[in-house]
Chain A
Amino acid sequence: MSNAALGAPLPSGADEPGKALEVAPAIPKKTDISRAWFGDKSFYAIVVACGTSVLVIVGLILYELISRSDLAWKAFGFKFFVGQDWDPVNDHYGALPFVYGTVVSSLLALLLAVPVSMGVAIFITEMCPRRLKTFLSFMTELLAAIPSVIYGLWAIFVLVPLLRENVEPFLIKTLGWTGLFAGQPFGIGMLAAGIILAIMVVPIISSMAREVMTAVPSAQREAVYALGATRWEMIRMGVLRNARAGIVGGVILGLGRALGETMAVTMVIGNRPEISKLTEALFAPAHTMASVIANEFSEATGDLYLSALIEVGLALFVVTVIVNILAQLLVWSVTRGMPARGNG
């Protein structure tokens, strides 16, 4: 009898006392209590199992990555991350070009995205009329809902031609003297990847910034206003200064996303495992850690080849986990004590 309650987490008709007595006449009276006891115990077991599964999954990810990259680790050791040759033909692997591509494309994305997201967050929380607020928040959230493959598709057919024919020649002509904009305007390359990544991380950074800025108590704002500040001075002194740690947390969260982003980057970065000269870095094709896995994993024939790719994945996993934990701690330091997500 208690098995019925044990197996099904959802309540069935078996709860009327009469019915229960019918099923188990041998132990009357006690049934209600023991069923509740069994129900509670088994329900608890189920939800604990669900909760534990999260731990198990992360453990499994780590275990699989470590055990399956063992071969490459034994073959190259730490040199793997400083070697520049990625040569599947001769079975020699060095991951530095991918580390370089990931770091540069993500930093480029942050460079473009951070000022813009701050502007958006400030405008939405502090400046715009209430009615516009909901609409604008919705629109920026919508940007986060577009799948990355669609960003990639748009980038290939709209952004890249635009860069190749207009933006990059223009940059070379007008800003070429700075030494940063040299090389061939392919369209495809680091700059395209940085721009598309920037568009993808703007909603993350700006919604995080909005959240921590809303968490700043309004007494702070009123105090600064009372000293005769203009609105911008109030935002600078009353809001931004108090939300600083949380905003940095949001930026790091965006970095975490940019580091691991795969599809859109793969489609526009050009996928060439090379570290280009500094002057040509922006326009040259490159390769990231995520994009090399996406491109070569299903074609990796040799054991060492596969193992090397998984080691790249392991490095990416460790870095993104550290970055995310850091971001989480910073955001908590500001929003602690506030409800996790306000409806503002």
Chain B
Amino acid sequence: MARALNQQVAPLPFGRKLSDWAATFIAASCVVLVLAPLLAIFGYLLYKGFGALNFDFLTKTPAPPGEIGGGMANAIAGSVLILGLASAIGVPVGIGSGIYLSEYGRGSRFGNLIRFTSDVLNGVPSIIIGITAYALVVLTRGHFSALAGGVALGIMMIPTITRTTEEMLLLVPHSLREAAYGLGVSKWRTTVSVTLRTATSGVITGCMLAFARIAGETAPLLFTVFGNTYWNWNLDQPTAALPLQIFSYAISPYDDWHRQAWAGALILIILIVFSVAAVRIAVSRGTLGSVQ
């Protein structure tokens, strides 16, 4: 449109044309500059990761330092344990406070305070959450444990889930709630079986977003779950975790451990992508009417 207008009036001075081209060129090269590291990271991850992946890696516990072989099976299991615990804490609390914000706390001062605080919590560095979990769980129990890591990661899930749940519930048309009220349904039943149900897929997407965010978190695990070279299913004991293992292998001096760090990183990415995709598929099959 702009071009058509310009042609009717007068040809553009060369300088202005040049600045327009230059801007387009620079913006496009910025995109290339950003995509380059993305492709480089994924390329290396696939190349080095698949090269290092083998059956032992997925089934064995770590070899002693300097020895070749071993794997990260216990770390993968530990991550599943910690992430499960974190989800058990973060998902219900997050959805609950999201419901409060959208259905009860609209415009109220308390609601605004919670919304604001949850945005603040979202910006708190993960390592600070780690210190808090250390103080709350590790110091009171007297030792490192999977529980402490689960608490730390669960806390990190809450603000993301709260805000996405709120946004998704607000998208549900008000007439749906009114229809339920008109039938004499109580407010909580309406919220659970009409509003929340209509927004299910959006709410679950929010939960997956939060899950993907914490699944690779390492900093809050350093001094909560601590790491372990053996199998552990006890919540009250130190546990290995995949991101933690990747970190300690990456900064180690052994080539074989570097190799395994790449394989671990690949497994971590696959774990994140796979779980997100699995839930997405399950949700799209399970519900017919979704908000979006």
Chain A positions near chain B (C-beta within 8 angstroms): 9-11, 15, 36-37, 39-40, 42-44, 46-55, 57-58, 60-61, 64-65, 68, 115-120, 122-124, 127, 136, 139-140, 142-143, 145-154, 156-158, 199, 202, 206, 225-226, 228-235, 253, 256-257, 259-263, 267, 290, 293-294, 297-298, 310, 313, 316-317, 320-321, 323-325, 328, 340-341, 343
Contacts and interface: CB of A to CB of B under 8 A. Distances in A.
Contacts of B269: 146-147, 150
Contact of A260 (B96, B124, B134, B155): B124
Interface in B170-198: 186-189, 191-193
Nearest to B144: A298
A52 B113 CA distance: 10
B33 to A, nearest CB: 6
A140 B186 CA distance: 44
Q: Which 7 A-B pairs have the closest CB atoms?
A: A147-B216, A260-B125, A119-B30, A50-B96, A43-B188, A324-B123, A36-B186
B281 interface: no
A119 B29 contact: yes
Given A50-B93, A64-B135, A294-B219, A153 B121 contact: no
B41 A151 contact: yes
Given A47-B96, A120-B34, A293-B127, A64 B114 contact: no
A253 to B, nearest CB: 8
A153 B186 contact: no
B12 interface: yes
Interface string B92-123: 11111101110111000011011011111111
Contact of A313 (B9, B20, B128, B216): B128
Interface residues of chain A: helix, strand, loop or mixed (majority): helix
Nearest to A259: B125
Identify the interface centre among A52, A118, A119, A127: most chain B CB within 10 Å of its CB: A119
Interface string B152-182: 0001001100100001000000000000000
Contact of B35 (A36, A139, A261, A316): A139
Contacts of B213: 145
A157 B259 CA distance: 11
Contacts of B126: 260, 262
7 contacts: A52-B114, A116-B34, A119-B29, A149-B250, A158-B40, A232-B19, A260-B128
Contacts of B24: 123, 127, 231-232
Contacts of A199: 37
Contacts of A256: 123
Nearest to A57: B155
B124 A51 contact: no
B250 A153 contact: yes
B282 interface: no
Interface string B11-36: 01000110110111011111101110
Contacts of B277: none
B136 interface: yes
Interface of B: 1-2, 5-6, 9, 12, 16-17, 19-20, 22-24, 26-31, 33-35, 37-38, 40-41, 44-45, 48, 92-97, 99-101, 103-105, 110-111, 113-114, 116-129, 131-132, 134-136, 155, 158-159, 162, 167, 186-189, 191-193, 212-213, 215-219, 222-223, 226, 243, 246-247, 250-251, 258, 261-262, 265, 268-269, 272, 292
Interface residues of chain B: helix, strand, loop or mixed (majority): helix
Contacts of A257: 123
B149 to A, nearest CB: 13
B125 A320 contact: yes
B26 A150 contact: no
Contacts of A122: 23, 27
Contacts of B155: 57
Nearest to B164: A341
Given A127-B24, A225-B1, A317-B128, A147 B30 contact: no
A136 B187 CA distance: 42
A228 B128 contact: no
Contact of A324 (B48, B120, B134): B120
Contact of B100 (A50, A139, A225): A50
Nearest to B33: A116
Contact of A64 (B1, B96, B136, B167): B136
A187 to B, nearest CB: 14
A230 B30 contact: no
A9 B101 contact: no
Identify the interface centre among B20, B29, B34, B247: most chain A CB within 10 Å of its CB: B34
Contacts of B45: 150, 154
A65 B97 contact: no
Contacts of A259: 125
B4 to A, nearest CB: 10
A262 B92 CA distance: 28
Contacts of A64: 131-132, 135-136
B117 A54 contact: yes
Nearest to A132: B31
A14 to B, nearest CB: 12
A27 B93 CA distance: 35
A50 B2 contact: no
B34 A143 contact: yes
B123 A321 contact: yes
Contact of B158 (A49, A57, A65): A57
B188 A39 contact: yes
B34 A53 contact: no
B97 A54 contact: yes
